[in-house]
Chain A
Amino acid sequence: MIDLIDTYWLYFLVGQYPHGPLGGLALTLILAVLGLLFAFPLGLVFGIARVSPWRCVRWPVSALIQVVRGTPLLMVIFWAYFFLPSLTGQNTDQFWTMLTALVVFDAAYLAEIIRAGIQGIGKGQTESARSLGFSYLDAMRLVILPQVVRNMLPSLVNQFVATIKETSLGYIIGLTEVSFIATQINTQVLTKPAEVYLLLGLTYFILCFGLSRFAFWLERHHQQRTLAKAHA
């Protein structure tokens, strides 16, 4: 196992870079970060639309979210892979295909987190803001959302873990993220499949376990602060 790491660690981490496109673990992380970054504003808009008092906003967005949440990510990737080119009129490479699918998919899940957050804040907050003369949007922007976003920090970290795991599905469209690279290494070495895939699992584990422990810590920290405030 040591000589396996010794020979292939650089390939595993960055793919063929700098002699070719960036890949490996670096690409996995970049995809996950960009995916969540772009999905967040979209999820925010969807989440607010989900609790909107206007039906013509609430219904179509709710339907869209239900559809995305009822389909596997792989299906979303396939749709993006086959129909983005005809939609945009130019060839989309695997990176943008995967990123588009991830953003759409994650936005639907983030929207539900945000919706739950907004509904958990309590009507009194909106009502007081409204009676102080804030418009609906101002009350959302200045009173409700700042509280929601602080409360949802642990969920956001957990969503990031989920996104890292989701990037592995780029494998199927030939995106050179870390699972794909592991398979490449496996076909080159040929004799040590168990070790190669154990190392792959271990890599994901270290990354995701560390992050989910961080989310757990954030949540406890937040709870203690809320408790301390309640006692003060």
Chain B
Amino acid sequence: MTPLFDLDLLLTGTYHDWLVAGLITSLSLTGISLALALPLAILIALIRLSPVKVLQWSGFAFVEAIRNVPLLAHMLFWYFGAPELLPTALREWLYARNIEATSAIIALTLYTAAYMSEDVRSGIRSIPGQQFEAARALGFSFVASMRLVVLPQALRVTIPPLISQTLNLWKDTSIATVIGVAELMYQAAKVESASFRSFEAFAFASACYLGMSLLITGAAGWYQGRFPVRAA
């Protein structure tokens, strides 16, 4: 007789291995996308704040074009659509590798960077303009005064919203299941269809998502306690 909730199924055996492999894939998707999205977000924020009108507009267009389309549509485009636009040789090279994960990472990175760039931008704008002017007056270039004077101060205000964007990124990785990346949600569905133990499989996935989310929320709380925003 099988018990109502078969905990052993989750702790040992093939199904356990599948689920853990899925969890690791989800975590790697989050890690890689975060590492790529952060510098991109800072770059876009700087472009939007640059004194050149054309750059400002292209930054705005990029952010709005990405934020106003669901992540699922991004994933579908990068997985089904974009490879067709590549030259044949490059396409075959890609298909021989992990095209699913690559498309997912591109979509997640762009999507997250668009949101993060808005947080970075408002962080930079919260630093009084005189800081930037003083740096310029002392002979720093635009890039140097940003890098050495404004950004270090802005980062302190920006970290909490960036952490909450990371939480969104973690939850968004689940959408990669649609294009067949073997992440946590995909593996849970696979276990469900192989064993018909849907409750156990989804409970495992939910617990992982929730646990990681609580850790990230906890990190944000810790940061705000440790480094409170100083009055300017």
Contacts and interface: CB of A to CB of B under 8 A. Distances in A.
Contact of B73 (A161, A195, A204): A204
Interface residues of B, number: 38
A205 B81 CA distance: 17
B11 interface: no
B202 A82 contact: yes
Contact of B81 (A71, A198, A207): A198
Contacts of A168: 70, 72-73
A212 to B, nearest CB: 7
Contact of A71 (B74, B188, B210): B210
Contacts of B2: none
Contacts of A198: 77, 81
Given A168-B70, A193-B84, A209-B68, A70 B213 contact: yes
A166 interface: yes
A71 B69 contact: no
B162 interface: no
A201 B69 contact: yes
Q: Is the interface of A mostly helix, strand, loop or mixed?
A: helix
Contacts, number: 110
A172 interface: yes
Contacts of A67: 210
20 contacts: A71-B171, A71-B209, A72-B175, A74-B174, A75-B206, A75-B209, A78-B189, A82-B198, A165-B70, A166-B70, A168-B72, A179-B76, A182-B76, A183-B76, A195-B81, A200-B77, A205-B64, A209-B68, A212-B64, A212-B68
Interface of A: 66-67, 69-75, 78-79, 82-83, 161, 164-166, 168-169, 171-172, 179, 182-183, 186, 192-198, 200-201, 204-205, 207-209, 212
Interface of B: 64-65, 67-74, 76-77, 80-82, 84-85, 167, 171-172, 174-175, 177-178, 185, 188-189, 192, 198-199, 202, 205-206, 209-210, 213-214, 217
